[in-house]
Amino acid sequence: MIKFERLTPGMVLLDIHSYKMGNTNMRRLGLWEVKVISVDAATRTAMCSWNGNPPRRYLERDFRSLRTKPSAAYLCQEERKP
């Protein structure tokens, strides 16, 4: 979790959440980069680009699920890869 006050333009955050693997019920953790382009302290919003897509406005609550480092669960999953 990252606090809004710590955001700076150019910062790269990580979005880690689970997703379905193809046409099955198996799930896996995925990691995507979110690049902060600009921060507006007055409205407490930021323009961010998720996974290289065009920038969109992120509200303060959208940063609650973002991280600066990969989670322990994601790192453990990556170690078990064949």
pLDDT in tens, 6-29: 999 999 999 999 999 889 999 999
Give the distance between the most distant pair of CA atoms in the chain. Answer: 48
CATH number of 4-79: 2.30.30
Residue 65: CB atoms within 10 A of its CB come to 13
Q: Supply the pTM of this predicted model.
A: 0.86
Note the pLDDT of residue 29: 94
Note the pLDDT of residue 81: 77
Element (H, E) at 69: none
| Token pair in block for residue 1 | 């979790």
Domain ranges of the chain: 4-79
Q: With contact defined as beta carbons under 8 Å apart, do 47 and 35 qualify? A: no
pLDDT in tens, 22-72: 899 999 999 999 999 999 999 999 999 999 899 999 999 999 899 999 999
